[in-house]
Structure 1
Amino acid sequence: MALRRALHFVFKVGDRAKTATFYRDVLGMKVLRHEEFEEGCKATCNGPYDGKWSKTMVGFGPEDDHFVAELTYNYGVGEYQLGNDFLGLTVQSSQAVSNAKRLGWPLTEVGQNLYLTQAPGGYPFYLVDKEQPPNDPVQKVCLGVSDLQKSTHYWTTLLGMKVMAKNEEKKSVLMGFADTQCKLELCEVVGTVDHGTSFGRIAFACPREQLPDLEALMKKENQKIINPLVSLDTPGKATVEVVILADPDGHEICFVGDEAFRQLSMVDPKGNNLLDKAMAEDKSNECRSGAGRTSAGLECLCTLQWTVYCRIKLLLAANTQYFEHARRLKAD
């Protein structure tokens, strides 16, 4: 499946300012584009929320040939519950290690030339203290699975990835669509996979013509389809088509038509300024902390009411997610 390529991983973020500091100043990534939405995504790109949200794509280079991070921010939601589903993203960059030390960002040495750190929200990142490679510094994404053999079968036989390496001692498998792309590592965890409310989504591109066939294959194999083939609009940009799947442990997987996505994902020179502007105008953090209520007046009161609403939605979504995963496990 050489025509398929790894695109990005979606992180839900509760604090855009701290998150921006981590990705821009610690990792050294650039803001590739920033988009604001007034209502929830039809393919639940922002999670089970139907309010205002934003998407910020950050990476070491253009999305055409770099694996990037999609930072999803739901207005009024300041935190998410972590699970054991996302186990880490590995970046090879001695500059990132140097940046972290200079800025006092916590680092833990876990191996030779290997450091563990956390993005805001608690997401683990592994930094390899070596010079950045000529292509993409993002090396791999690691996800937890409950049955390594079953998951390997899904990702290779059904999705077309090839196994690059196996580690029997660590109970892990490294796979990918091509040697030059970011890899996916599956690591077996004890017990079931808990997605919490912070659960993300990994995205891949394929020729648009493959999307209906991929959906049909999943139906034939009785695999979970979260969102059947659907078109997604972005104001002022290209419309893309996606299919959202779930692997045996409920990890969300997006496949998007490559042709339109290359148009949508073009670097926006205004992206960094758009993010800064959105953060400066966002009052939800002030309302959560109690600051600004007198100065912001009615605006902040409305935002506070919106925050309460979003927190209720968050609790309901967490319950829904829990019962959905329980239902899947029982069905399996």
Structure 2
Amino acid sequence: MSGRRALHFVFKVGNRTQTIKFYKDVLGMKILRHEEFEEGCKAACNGPYDGKWSKTMIGYGPEDNHFVCELTYNYGLSSYKLGNDFVGLTIKSSQVLQNAEALGWPIHDKDTFPYLEAPGGYKFYIVDELQPTDTDPVQKVTLAISEKDQSLTYWSELLKLKLYEQSEKQALLGYADDQAKLELKFIGEKVEHCKAFGRIAFSCPSSQLKSIESEVKAADGTILTPFVSLDTPGKATVQVVILADPDGHEICFVGDEGFRELSRMDPAADRLLSDALAADHSDEWFTKKGLSKAEA
């Protein structure tokens, strides 16, 4: 679909310090921007929580032409229960495996299709080939589905992703050849999201947002957040529509014009994150109160 592109996947993280080390030191990604919020997001970007939270965008290059990871951290929560909904994110990079070896990070299924587990349990599959410098190393994000035909109709016909490949168990879709793809994996059972559920994001021209909403509504699809404007302190305002596919996977469509302004790489991102980590005394506060952080 002209003008649409894959942006990022949202991960909820419990231990922000360990998670950032994994993404930077093992995966070799860079902090692109970091933002702190005093209250929950109107579109539930940080999940169904109302308290203080942060967003860290991290990836291999600018968000204009790379699929990146959005790490959301809720100050009062230490971990999230994983479901079977998120299968994994695939990266082409022998360097990642070398980093893992050097740091003693466990590599699973090393002789077949190696993968690493981030703090919190999310899986990252690694293609053992030279990491590209002229294209995005992130190849695809894989989500579980319970019924293939229904999902293909939703993603390819309603949301207009191009179908690149399909087999009995899987289908590969995307908006452009040079973008990270969405892979749907048929698991033959109900998709359970539990509390760690994420969200995949795409951009589109702002003029398409209300038509996407109306088309999904006309098809009796689920709209989690109707067209709304979201503010980021000191940065651009963006318009979004949040949907859910037949298995409940959350999908964010954001207006491309505002998002390109919002998502510019911030040269102060590393410092802002470091300052936030140093100022985060939530563990100490809970300890002094004789409490432990809640597990979601």
Query: Distance in 2 between the 1:238 and 1:138 partners?
Result: 26
Q: Secondary structure at the match of 1:109?
A: coil
Q: Does 1:251 align with 2:249?
A: yes
Task: Determine if the alignment matches structure 1 residue 223 to structure 2 residue 216.
Answer: no
Relative to 1, partners in 2 of residues 1:110 and 1:2: Cα closer, same or farther, differing over 3 Å?
A: farther
Unaligned runs of 5+ in 1: 294-300, 315-332
Shift in Å, 1:167:
2.2
What does residue 130 of structure 1 align with?
Answer: 129
Moved over 6 A (4+): none
Residue in 2 that maps onto 1:144: 144
Q: TM-score, normalised by structure 1?
A: 0.86
Residues 59-107 of structure 1 show CA distances to partners (whole Å, capped at 9, x for unaligned) of 0000000000000000010000000000000011111111010000110
Counterparts of 1:154 and 1:219, CA distance in 2: 12
In percent, how many aligned pairs have the same letter?
59
**Native 8 Å contact 1:24 1:30 kept in 2:** yes
Distance in 2 (alpha carbons) for counterparts of 1:111 and 1:155:
33
Number of positions where the alignment pairs a residue of Structure 1 with one of Structure 2: 295
Query: Once the 2 structures are TM-superposed, how far is the Cα of residue 281 of structure 1 from its aligned partner?
Result: 1.1
| d(CA) in 1 for partners of 2:281, 2:167 | 47
Distance in 2 separating the partners of 1:235 and 1:151: 37
The residue that corresponds to 1:9 in the other structure is: 9
Matched, 1:214 2:207: no
Residue 87 of structure 1 aligns to a residue whose secondary structure is strand
What secondary structure sits across from 1:209 in the alignment?
helix
Which sections of structure 2, spanning at least 5 residues, go unmatched?
none
2:182 matched residue in structure 1: 184
Deviations 1:43-68 (A, max 9, x none): 00000000000000000000000000
Higher relative helix content: 1
CA distance in 2 between partners of 1:144 and 1:209 (Å): 31
Question: What does 1:146-165 correspond to in 2, within 5 Å?
Answer: 146-165=146-165
CA distance in 1, matches of 2:109, 2:194: 27
d(CA) in 2 for partners of 1:158, 1:68: 24
Post-superposition Cα deviations, 1:126-182, rounded to whole Å, max 9, x if no partner, equal 0111111221000000000000111011000000101111122xx000110011000
Deviation at residue 190 of structure 1 after TM alignment: 2.7
Would the aligned equivalents of 2:147 and 2:188 in 1 still touch at CA under 8 Å? no
> Looking at CA atoms only, which structure, 1 or 2, has the larger radius of gyration?
1
Match for residue 100 of structure 2? Answer: 100
| Offset of residue 189 of structure 1 | 1.2
Local SS of the residue matching 1:108: coil
> CA contact under 8 A between 1:244 and 1:252: conserved in structure 2?
yes
